[in-house]
Amino acid sequence: MTQRLLVVSPVRNEAAHIERVARALAAQTRRPDSWIVVDDWSTDETPAILARLADELDFMSVMRSPPPLGDDAPRDRLVVAAEARAFNAGLNSVQREAFTHIAKLDGDIELPPRYFELLLSEFESDPALGLAGGVLREPSGDGWSREHGASDYHVRGALKCYSRGCLDEIGGIRERMSWDTIDEVYARMRGYKTRALPELVALHHRPSASADGLLRGRARHGLGFYITHYPLAWVSLRAVKTAGEPPAVLSGFAFLGGYLWAAVTRAPRVEDPEFRAFVRRELGIRARRALRLPVPIEPAARPETR
């Protein structure tokens, strides 16, 4: 089957970055078949820049996301999943059946020229691969540093790519906090592989969680782990690791504090016993591997072509 790629980019106030993102897409050795940019009610020059770029790039189209929830746009847009909401609006504006792969790309991510060529070749070579993407480098002093906390099974929400079969089977992405962890868990529950590809390195021009402040972002990260049923013991160990990220020490306290605040206030969690059991089982397997203990045989991922 001929691969057809749809890229959807929710953007808000990305005037400083969106043009280089567009130029990087135009320079791809394998361009997207369609690129939908969803302006999420930007208040800077983003809409004007998008209109100019859309006149230049024949694979690009621009739309506006649904109005913000409530009278005013909320301050913490990740908590209300404004980005996921905008992505779904873009995806629902086309016939997804016309595409074999659907990617989400943020408006501050600059891709290397062969990014989509190599990414799609990974999907072609492994029919069980359902969700994949590259890794990020972020500004650090006078250069770029690898993102903190990267893992081989977690693909950052900023640059995910799904096979359409995987996206359909997991029911799309949910418009709620931690959507970019929930989607991966459901993908693996359905027998798909999820994979971050370290050879595909993109530049993230706006550092993670910088829009609302780093400490707020760390606390929100901890909240996300509560929502997705990670146990306190695991989160406490993760907080020690997070304490080494900037701002040092405070990051760990903010991360753990976000989790504990969610527990005390009984933040809504994923209401699916199968999901909770799967998360706990995966964590147990990873812990045994880290300790070099025998690991139970896992069910094989589906081998059939999608």
Rounded to whole angstroms, the Cα distance separating 71 from 146 reads: 39
Least confident of 104-118, 179-193, 204-218, 259-273: 204-218
Q: In whole angstroms, how far apart are CA 141 and each of 16, 126, 135, 145?
A: 19, 38, 19, 9
Neighbours of 41 (CB within 10 A): 16
Question: Which pLDDT belongs to residue 74?
Answer: 46
Phi and psi (nearest 5°) for 171? 80, 25
pLDDT attached to residue 80: 62
Span 5-204: which CATH code? 3.90.550.10
Is the Cβ–Cβ distance between 183 and 102 less than 8 Å? no
pLDDT of residue 211: 46
| Structure confidence by residue, pLDDT tens digits, 21-42 | 999 999 999 999 999 999 999 9
Please state the rounded mean pLDDT for residues 64-75. 66
Least confident of 9-13, 31-35, 219-223, 258-262: 219-223
Higher pLDDT pick, 167 / 287: 167
The pLDDT score that the predictor gives to residue 14 is 96
pLDDT at 305: 47
**In contact, 36 and 93? CB cutoff 8 Å:** yes
Side chain identity at 163, as an amino acid letter? S
Q: Looking at residue 207, what is its pLDDT? A: 64
Map out the domains of the chain as residue ranges: 5-204, 214-271
Query: Which pTM was predicted?
Result: 0.90
Q: Tokens 């890229």 belong to which residue?
A: 7
Does residue 69 have a pLDDT over 50? yes
Look at residue 72 and tell me whether its pLDDT is greater than 50: no
Average per-residue pLDDT for the chain = 90
Q: What is the pLDDT of residue 246?
A: 81
Measuring CA to CA, how many Å separate 72 from each of 41, 44, 82, 161, 216?
Answer: 11, 17, 13, 31, 20
Q: Compute the distance between CA of residue 162 and CA of residue 171 in angstroms, rounded to an integer.
A: 12
Average pLDDT over residues 63-80: 65
C-alpha R_g of the chain? 19
pLDDT band at 292 (very low <50, low <70, confident <90, very high): confident
Is 295's pLDDT higher than 80? no
Higher pLDDT, 149 or 187: 187
Mind listing the pLDDT tens digit for each residue in 115-146? 999 999 999 999 999 999 999 998 876 777 76
3-state secondary structure 214-262: HHHHHHHHHHHHHHCCCCHHHHHHHHHHHCCCCCCCHHHHHHHHHHHHH
Q: What pLDDT does 288 receive? A: 85
